[in-house]
Amino acid sequence: MANFIMFKSLALLVGASALALPMTASAHRQWLLPVATTYSGEDPWASVDAAVSNDLFFPDHFPIQLAQIKVTAPDGTAGAIEHGITARHRSTFDVHLTQPGTWKIGTEGFNVMGSFKVDGVEKRVGRRPGPPPGAMGPGGAPAGTPGGAPGRAPVESVALDAIPANAADLKLTEAISRNEIFVTRGAPTTALFKPSGKGLEFDPLTHPDDLVANEPGKFRFLIDGQPAKGLKLTVIPGGKRYRDAEGGYDVTTDANGVATVKWTGAGMYWMTISATDNKPTTPRATERRMTYTATVEVMAP
């Protein structure tokens, strides 16, 4: 039972942590890892792991919940996950690639977080990270409830539509995140990359299933359809467990919003990029945080 509570509260945490925490070497990362991104044959299946952990792609912390996974077929219709299991440290599932072309598999998050005061008492809106997992201990109560982390006064959390009219010092942040992989049966297609013109979007000039170690990948990022220049794309190769250093690096988008990424070798890479502005769509919110994350496979030449 205690484990169940911990899982549940951490599942919520997962939704917010990548957005709320600064990117540090120890930040828990959400990742999707396809066994391969390029498939031939008449009846291919893509197999995927999904987890949250510090090291890429080493599942030692928590699984991503299968219910969060969304599959889009090359023609834009919804696909399905099959054979899904959620284990202690990771979820695993298959996607039957019933159509030729490029498929998108990923998670989407939309949260509104913030705080306000009523009669001088601070209250919270939406999901906020609680204490770290270890702080709860066996049988520990979730954050924000009596008996939670010692020394921390419980703060009431209310739903967005329950903010009272007399709320003061209202600060609301809209947090939008996507985390995606792309797998291709046969020739790559680009229909799924057509920008919607809303939020932070991935607009690859090099197809993410056409990456080779000796050729740079060029990825454009857009915010509300306009080039997102000067953003920092963090690129981290997998396999840190077998190295001393993580080996990650940052690439800044140019005036056209394009990040030109050189690879340090063949393998799987995790990339993430974030932007913050003051153009939220949620009424009364003042800030919009957008994060895009993808795992890509770079082949040997």
Partner 1 sequence: MKPSSLLAPVLALAPASAMAGSISIDLPRLPVAEYHRPYVAIWIEGAGIQPRTVAVWYDADHRGDPGTKWLSDLRGWWRVAGRNIGTPPSGISGATRAPGHHTIPLPADLKPGAYTLKVEAARETGGRELVSVPFTLPRTGGKGAGNGAGGEIGAVAVTLP
Residues in touch with partner 1 (CB under 8 A): 36, 38-44, 100, 184, 186-188, 210, 212, 299-301
The answer to whether 179 and 290 have CB atoms below 8 angstroms apart is no
Q: Which is nearer to partner 1, 190 or 256 (CB)?
A: 190
Instruction: Give the number of other Cβ atoms within 10 Å of residue 25's Cβ.
Output: 9
> What is the rounded end-to-end Cα distance, in angstroms, of the chain?
50
Quote the least distance from Cβ 298 to partner 1, whole Å.
Answer: 12
Which residues fall within 8 angstroms of residue 130, CB to CB, at 6 or more apart?
A: 9, 13, 136, 142, 143, 144, 148, 149
Which residues fall within 8 angstroms of residue 17, CB to CB, at 6 or more apart?
A: 27, 28, 52, 129
Q: Which is nearer to partner 1, 40 or 278 (CB)?
A: 40
Q: Which is nearer to partner 1, 160 or 212 (CB)?
A: 212
Quote the least distance from Cβ 42 to partner 1, whole Å.
Answer: 6
Angle subtended at Cα 163 by Cα 160 and Cα 164, rounded to the nearest 5 degrees:
165
Quote the least distance from Cβ 55 to partner 1, whole Å.
Answer: 27
Quote the least distance from Cβ 236 to partner 1, whole Å.
Answer: 23
Q: Which is nearer to partner 1, 44 or 109 (CB)?
A: 44
Quote the least distance from Cβ 300 to partner 1, whole Å.
Answer: 7
Q: Which is nearer to partner 1, 146 or 301 (CB)?
A: 301
Q: For the chain, what is the largest distance between any 2 Cα atoms, rounded to a whole number of angstroms?
A: 66
d(CA 121, CA 21): 25
Quote the least distance from Cβ 57 to partner 1, whole Å.
Answer: 21
Phi and psi torsions of 121, nearest 5°:
-100, 125
Q: Which is nearer to partner 1, 201 or 210 (CB)?
A: 210
